[in-house]
A and B are shown apart, each in its own frame.
Chain A
Amino acid sequence: MTSLGALLIRDMRLAVRVGGGALMGVLFFLVVVTLVPFAIGPDLALLERIGPAVLWLAALLANLLALDRLFAADHEDGSLDLLLMSRAPLELVVAVKGLAHWLTTGLPLVIAAPLIGLLLNLDGAAQAGLVLTLLVGTPALTFIGLIGAAIAVALRRGGLLLAVLVLPLTVPVLIFGVAAANAVLGGAAPFGTPFTILCALSLASLVIGPFAAAAALRQEIE
């Protein structure tokens, strides 16, 4: 267990230090959200209506940013080979790396969402709903992304391919995340149904993601 803890701390340190992508995600998130009013005009009523969708979309894209370096950086400097040979099961290693990625990319997005929501004229209840859905939904994005990151690990231009591979798989998360966030805003549907499905998607990807990513890594590096 200590080796896994050490891995978690190492990955988070790497993300926070120079060359890491931790705060880049939040910055990207902010930039994307800022672009939206420029594109569709500063109509506050409209922005409030599409606000949750815009924030979810921006979170989805921001989550992709650091993902292509998740295994590729380790592959380049050789530490991935050490991880593959370590005694800890590869699935757990991958899950820990996913957790570190979520803590440094997903969680900052969740924390920044209320502030950025202000730009889109979201009120208190809508903000709370949005933060809750992002908190529950972003792990699904990370752990689905793990699969793509593992598949694209040894590729040049892996980042572009990663987006093409991962984004279609995240469609259900986007649908139910936005549906739940909109329900708080006064949609016709109740909040509970899409929210519980979102939880289920996160839990399922928590299981499928590490196994598929570990399998992909074993196949790629041999």
Chain B
Amino acid sequence: MSLTDLANPSRFLKFANRVLPWLGGVTVIAFAIGLNQAMGAPDDYQQGATVKIMYLHVPSAWLGMLAWGVMSIAALGTLVWRHPLADVAAKSAAPLGAAFTLLCLVTGALWGRPEWGTYWVWDARLTSELVLFLLYLGVIALWRTVEDPSRAARAAAILTLVGAVDLPIIKFSVDWWNTLHQGESVFRFGGSTIYPTILVPLLVMAVAFTLLFVTLQIAAMRNEILRRRVRTLRLMQAQAAS
């Protein structure tokens, strides 16, 4: 089954219904393993137990950016290939990305309070993440403003591609500016600077978060397709009545 087969909404619905229980189960297992490992991981020698916030904070930051990446690819799908499911994917990913970004901001604030002595600083990494959150809200607002879904899709696609400029700014903000937020420590030249006992649970949690995103995304896409069908049926009903 290829991507073009899934372009048919009915086939996608069948595929989603078949896949979702499995994905949900795997997600639960991954979270069980990840949380168990995270709780068992050693405390940081300076930060103590607060370092455990990292196991939620870092994966949600990654997923917040990944969701915009998914939206950008979907935007290309909408504008270039007119793929019928691309705008469904873009619309479903926006609230998920906003939720992950908000989770990242909130956990970051809770972590910042004991470690930096403040919930919030106007530092490049934090600011660019906040801008990402605002961009998500803007895209959601755009989806909610335009009535016709296919026109909304094209407008949102262009905004998504323009907003993608923020992704490299977030990624490299800790390298370009001297920030209070720590520098890149997982994906860097010369290997990670995180000790394996902490790094492994972090990566397991990242896998669990990604599975959660994929599950929610497919479920949201299914709901969106059904919602559009209901809309079409209602329009037909209204036409028949008049």
Measured CA separation A120–B147 after assembly (Å): 45
Total number of B residues with any Cβ neighbor in A under 8 Å? 22
Whether the Cβ atoms of A147 and B145 lie closer than 8 Å is no
Q: Is the CB of A151 within 8 A of B159?
A: yes
Contacting residues of chain B (130-147) with chain A, CB-CB under 8 angstroms: 131, 134-135, 137-138, 141-142, 145-146
Which of A23-31, A36-44, A54-62, A211-219 participates in binding chain B? A211-219
Q: How far is the CA of A70 from the CA of B210 in the complex (A)?
A: 42
Are B158 and A151 in contact (CB-based, < 8 A)?
yes
A219 nearest in chain B by CB position: B154
Interface set, chain A 154-170, CB cutoff 8 A to B: 154-155, 157, 161, 164-165, 167-169
Interface residues of A in 197-222 (CB under 8 A from B): 208, 212, 215-216, 219-220
In the assembled complex, B16 has its CB within 8 A of some CB on chain A: no
Question: Which residues of the other chain, B, contact A172 by a CB distance below 8 angstroms?
Answer: 169
Contact across chains for B145 and A220 when beta carbons are under 8 A apart? no
Q: How far is the CA of A165 from the CA of B134 in the complex (A)?
A: 9
Partner of B155, one of A169, A171, A208, A219: A219
18 residue pairs from A and B, CB less than 8 Å apart: A147-B158, A154-B151, A155-B145, A155-B146, A164-B137, A164-B138, A168-B163, A169-B163, A169-B165, A172-B169, A212-B158, A215-B79, A215-B158, A219-B151, A219-B154, A219-B158, A220-B151, A220-B155
Given contacts A165-B159, A212-B162, A216-B158, 10 further A-B contacts (CB under 8 A): A147-B158, A147-B159, A150-B158, A151-B155, A151-B158, A165-B141, A168-B135, A216-B154, A219-B79, A220-B154
Binding site for B on A (CB under 8 A): 147, 150-151, 154-155, 157, 161, 164-165, 167-169, 171-172, 208, 212, 215-216, 219-220
